[in-house]
Amino acid sequence: MSQPLLDLPEPFKWTVDSVCAVCGKEGLLGRRYRNEYWPDLEFFNQLTVVACSGCGFGYVPHPPTDTELETFYATRYRGPSSPYFVWRRGPGREPFRSRALSQLGSVSRHTDLRRPGHIVLDVGAGLGEVLRLQTILNPTSRCFAVEQDLHARTDLERRLAVAGTTSISDFLTVHPEGADVVVLSHVLEHISHMDLASFLLLVRDALRGSGGIALIEVPNDDSILGLPSEDSPHLLFFSEKALRELLSRSGLEILCVERLGQRTPVAPSSPRLARLKNLKRFSLIASLADLRGQASQRGRADWFGVTELTASPVGSVLRVIVRQA
């Protein structure tokens, strides 16, 4: 049962007689889904979002069908009109490169990325910047990618000699021992609330015993604060409190949580990033710590590869390092 209410915080317009699946608070807030990037896709236009004012967790209660989502990610998400176009080259790639460097810097605090034969799995690899930089850092690494888009997967296989697949399950079929490092950079927010628990269990299974670690990065879309300004194609909206609880429930031990980003963007064409274009292995090792240390100075625009910065609190990105509990 939904009831309209006039004094709700923006952008919420009604209340929902339901219970939060994360913290158990009764009564959720509701609003329309904001679809700016793909207005021609009616299944996005018809969605709504419900959110908890207790823990900040938000989700789409009636997501698109599996077929609609599979088709979207296979054909449209990385298409030419998308901000996530896989053939992006030149300066447009720099935000993704800097993010990948920063992520490897975070991972390097918890595992030796230069260990011979390190297995690295990038879920939702896209442009493959994490895998490309990892192979520079450690040419003996065995790199794998989970990617829905055929063109992106083919590009990764051709350009980086990466073994590509479409699911974590397929990776585990061939490599049941799991990976030393699993990277999920802005992936969880694309999973439906109905599939999240089973997906996180797959992530746990993909880790190589107690020594494997995963980096999980999501937008800090704390629904208590009315974030974000644009939804599509996200189906989940995490606060730090909700993300911590969901990961712990899935048998994952949290080693580190970083809150990254601020209101003022850093120009992606800065001289420091320009110097990183032709990295050699020795300079990459030094750059890992440098990029991780400067990550808190980056704005939301740099993390997403877009040109406009949405007003958001300090910590517009949540980055978590986990291992099997």
Q: Is the pTM of this model over 0.85?
A: no
Tell me the mean pLDDT in the region 254-278. 54
Residue 85 pLDDT greater than 90, yes or no: no
Interval 42-75: pLDDT, tens: 999 999 999 998 899 999 999 999 999 999 998 8
When pLDDT is cut at 50, 70 and 90, the band that residue 177 belongs to is very high
Residue ranges covered by each domain of the chain: 73-218+241-324
Q: Which of 127-131, 242-246, 313-317 has the lowest mean pLDDT?
A: 313-317
Q: Which is more confidently placed, 242 or 316?
A: 242
Three-state secondary structure readout of the chain: CEEECCCCCCCCCEEEEEECCCCCCEEEEEEECCCCCCCCCHHHHCCEEEECCCCCCEECCCCCCHHHHHHHHHHCCCCCCCCCCCCCCHHHHHHHHHHHHHHHHHHCCCCCCCCCCCEEEEECCCCCHHHHHHHHHCCCCEEEEECCCHHHHHHHHHHHCCEEECCHHHHHHHCCCCECEEEEECCHHHCCCCCHHHHHHHHHHCECHHHCEEEEEEEECCHHHCCCCCCCCCCEEECHHHHHHHHHHCCEEEEEEEEECECCCCCCCCHHHHCCCCCCHHHHHHHHHHHHHCHHHCEHHHHHCCCCCCCCCCCCEEEEEEEEC
Radius of gyration of the chain from its Cα atoms, rounded to whole angstroms: 19
Instruction: Identify residue 288 by its one-letter amino acid code.
Output: L
Q: Do 49 and 67 form a contact (C-beta atoms < 8 A)?
A: no
Tell me the mean pLDDT in the region 152-159. 89
Q: Which of 79-93, 111-125, 201-215 has the lowest mean pLDDT?
A: 79-93
Percent of the chain with pLDDT over 70: 75
**Interior CA angle at 71 toward 20 and 200, to 5°?**
40
Averaged pLDDT score across all residues of the chain: 81
When pLDDT is cut at 50, 70 and 90, the band that residue 92 belongs to is low
Q: Which is more confidently placed, 2 or 15?
A: 15
Tell me the mean pLDDT in the region 170-197. 96
Q: Do 141 and 180 form a contact (C-beta atoms < 8 A)?
A: no
pLDDT at 251: 96
Residue 312 pLDDT greater than 50, yes or no: no
pLDDT at 124: 94
Q: Which is more confidently placed, 261 or 156?
A: 156
Residue 137 pLDDT greater than 60, yes or no: yes
CATH number of this structure's domain 73-218+241-324: 3.40.50.150
